[in-house]
Structure 1
């Protein structure tokens, strides 16, 4: 009997580990490469890094680490994330998918508000607070995005600690392609730590539930932009460089705003 119990416990533990890995694999695209890369049309014009000259970033780990991690993430996007997103899009009405996205974005108000203050972006901090208040009260805990509908100027700003560190002076940083988490830089990676502490999902007692929600969020967000990632791959001669350049361009734009 004890041997059977041990075997059952081992099987259950293995199942939980596998479930956690799959959730992590889905959660890595909280900020998917497809959403961060340059538009497919722009990527098509990027023949290579030397020809464009538009983006300069140190990439000391390009060979072999970053490119190997790109291959891993590419597999996860194409064969885990997007199939799950297509299934969700087919089964779940757009109204429910939008409501779920709104709630989680509203919950992450502390991250955006704190970083707006730390960057002395007072207007954005005020807009964040007003938006959070309206969406939480009138919008039923953020289910409805009423703030922007009523006041177009009250838009949520995707501020984070990576941008804050850049505003404080850490402008240039080495590029990283992280396993599961996608494109980043050393600066943005370190910035994830305080942002994580400010994220309400971090304080959930059940890590499986926390990872699960992040995984569902990644699938849900991808359901709104199915096909974007493949479009970049088709348009770019080197998708790795297209995604790297797109990420750096997007981060530079966010920092300057």
Structure 2
């Protein structure tokens, strides 16, 4: 076993052992649970380099796209996310949101030119976003140790498997043409990164410790968006 393999094995073992915070652990009092902070900081640094060299420049190019094109692409990628929303809202027992996401998918795909036009929004059918990470935490009751994933960035030991599940649920994954699939993925990354350009500039200026700032902000946001009452009675599904 090489040194790199041993390093990865030790990191994985540390996550398994310390994946869940102690019972008396409090985010408000103790901050994010980050037992492998040195490893996470190193990965964060590598991601920062990749972002500076590749992703951020792509996002800046995307800012020059005509507004109508950007709007259409945003609608298209939001529509691609509806199957994941439907699956997760079902698992979270959010019956009304399941109906809403299904209606949005049907109307926007059929009448909105494959999702380029948000027809559902004009009908006051608003999108409710969620993901597999939120679903996993709703069932486990714990977000687990903070984890920085190469390229994907801030996550947790509970959220990380959700990334794989999101790929499986995404229609983009099943496009056979590699050029089309990779082009769509690249466009979506640039689109999402563009929305964070101003936030990133504020972090660069305001944060004394950028890593800690991003980690704590992410953890605080996730705690505010995790669904509750997943283990409720079946008759409470339609709420």
TM-score where L is the length of structure 1: 0.72
Per-residue displacement from partner, 1:45-100 (whole Å, max 9, x unpaired)?
xxxxxxx946733212111x11011111122223322222222322x201101211
Partner residue of 1:123? 96
Partner residue of 1:186? 157
Within the candidate set 53, 78, 81, 2:52 is matched to: 78
- Give aligned pairs, total: 202
More helix by share: 1
Query: What secondary structure is seen at the aligned counterpart in 2 of 1:227?
Result: helix
Partner residue of 1:138? 111
Q: Does the alignment pair 1:94 with 2:67?
A: yes
Note the residue ranges of structure 1 that are not aligned, 5 or more in a row.
1-51
Determine if contact 2:143/2:156 at 8 Å carries over to the other structure.
no
Q: Please tell me the root mean square deviation across aligned C-alpha atoms, in Å.
A: 2.0
CA distance, structure 2, for counterparts of residue 162 and residue 225 of structure 1: 21
> How far off is 1:207 after superposition?
4.2
> How far off is 1:224 after superposition?
3.7
Partner residue of 1:61? 36
Query: What secondary structure is seen at the aligned counterpart in 1 of 2:99?
Result: helix
CA distance, structure 1, for counterparts of residue 208 and residue 58 of structure 2: 27
Note the residue ranges of structure 2 that are not aligned, 5 or more in a row.
1-26, 229-239
CA distance, structure 1, for counterparts of residue 146 and residue 192 of structure 2: 24
Per-residue displacement from partner, 1:185-212 (whole Å, max 9, x unpaired)?
0111112222221111111224454233
Partner residue of 2:83? 110
CA distance, structure 2, for counterparts of residue 58 and residue 206 of structure 1: 41
Determine if contact 1:85/1:220 at 8 Å carries over to the other structure.
yes
Determine if contact 1:57/1:173 at 8 Å carries over to the other structure.
no
TM-score where L is the length of structure 2: 0.77
Partner residue of 1:31? none
Partner residue of 2:132? 161
Structure with higher RCO (Cα < 8 A, 6+ apart): 1
CA distance, structure 1, for counterparts of residue 180 and residue 147 of structure 2: 28
Query: What secondary structure is seen at the aligned counterpart in 2 of 1:127?
Result: helix
Query: What secondary structure is seen at the aligned counterpart in 2 of 1:211?
Result: helix
Within the candidate set 132, 153, 174, 1:203 is matched to: 174
Q: Does the alignment pair 1:218 with 2:193?
A: no
- CA 1:68–1:116: 2 relative to 1, 3 Å: same
> How far off is 1:165 after superposition?
1.2
